[in-house]
Amino acid sequence: MKSVEQYRNQKVLVLGLAKSGMNAARLLHKLGAFVTVNDKKDFDDNPDAQALLSEGIKVITGGHPLSLLDEDFKVVVKNPGIPYSNPIVAGALAKHIPVITEVELASQILAGELIGVTGTNGKTTTTTMITMMLNQRTDAGKAYVAGNIGVPASAVAQKAQPNDTMVTELSSFMLCGIETLHPHIAVLTNIYSTHLDYHGSRENYIKAKMRITMNQTADDYFVVNWDSEEWRNLSQQSAAQVVPFSRQHNTEAGAYEKDGQLYFKDEYIMDAKDIKIPGDHNVENALAAIAVAKLSAVPTAGIVQVLKTFSGVRHRTQYVETYEGRQFYNDSKATNIVSTEMALKGFDQPVVLLAGGLDRGNTFETLAPALKDHVKAMIVFGETAQKMADAGKLAGIETIKFTENCETAVPLAWDLSEAGDIIMLSPANASWDQYPNFEIRGDRYIKAIETLTGKAEEN
């Protein structure tokens, strides 16, 4: 951890708790700042706020009072999910008070190297692959995952040594709040249209994503998906050395697939079919990770070892188990159409699809071709159940069942399946109509599978 003096004896507001706010507050307190934490949850129902108060940190709960802006804060560290339309945030910016996110704070104290990964889909899988590959090196420090993957970057940055690497998943929300964050290697997996309710437009969303490279120089690397003209053009905004990866083009300047084989520049790495997790999207994730690993001097044997054994990240096309010839997959993280489309394209076997969730006003006609090619039956639930069913009918799927949620969908899917089928939760929607987050949705799905197969513990 670097020695940082810029916060000593300075008043700092931490807006919003959860993991990032908790860790930011504790770090700032350690750095000698006068920290005020403001969280909308009432104090009596707020164990995080109670814990911080017991540690000597000032807390204000139950709302976001505008009177906070009367205090002479030098900086605001906000939870990434709090929009910039929030009156406290907007008021701070109007007063020219910097508003940053916890990853910016983490980058300021990080003594080791920073690798940043962003994109619409594939961030978590790519981040995990990269970290596992870097840890195959025997002559370098340890690599840690951090950021949007669920591990607060400020906690990792405090323990990382100068020869360590922090591989950080960076959401668009996080990137809006950076100023000096400087990845030596930045990765852009892809960009599709999502989170437009937060950013206001696709243009703003793209601008947020491209902030990952804004502080890079010619001594750094920008690893970019080369399979879209838009993404290729975006790479021109970077001052870093652009390293492409592609499934569709023979990009000999980077990582690519050719005739079912994966290469980095002119070096053969492995056959694509030997990647353990299925799907073309995971080939893309692997190529991005290969590029970063080769730039980081990971031996090819270490790269191959990871890709042949890595079974996937929980809730992201995660293999659960095989029971009486049916393979169960948990893809609860598929909160948009593109994610579900990619997951479906990863299978040659017939799929019984469990889908539905929060209604954000989307329609699902664009999913119909993937449904037609891969799905034999659908179980739909949640606010978008009818819309998902409409897409299924458009695709010509004859068997579509309605149910309450993803747990009640499991026995129905079993009844509609036969040996050789895939049963997969890949909702194409956010979870918030029925579940606090996609992780809990996925956990409930897995629990329902355990109940079906008799593996659930008896209570």
The reply to whether 119 sits in an annotated binding site is: yes
SS3 call for 299: coil
Show Cβ contacts of residue 15 under 8 Å, excluding neighbours closer than 6 positions: 21, 38, 64, 76, 77, 78, 79, 82, 86, 88, 89
User: Quick one: 361 exposed, middle or buried, by C-beta within 10 A (0-12, 13-18, 19+)?
Assistant: exposed
In this structure, are residues 196 and 100 in contact, taking their beta carbons and an 8 Å threshold? no
- Letter for the amino acid at 164? D
User: DSSP letter at 458?
Assistant: P
Beta strands in 42-141 (DSSP E): 58-61, 75-78, 99-100, 113-118
The reply to whether 403 sits in an annotated binding site is: no
Q: Which two tokens stand for residue 164?
A: 């360590």
- The Cα–Cα gap between 347 and 345 comes to 5
- Letter for the amino acid at 86? N
The reply to whether 447 sits in an annotated binding site is: no
Cβ atoms within 10 Å of 10's Cβ, excluding its own? 17
SS3 call for 56: coil
β 326-330/399-402 pair status: unpaired
End-to-end Cα distance, the chain: 46
In this structure, are residues 251 and 226 in contact, taking their beta carbons and an 8 Å threshold? yes
The reply to whether 124 sits in an annotated binding site is: yes
The reply to whether 125 sits in an annotated binding site is: yes
- Binding positions are 119-125
- Binding positions for ATP are 119-125
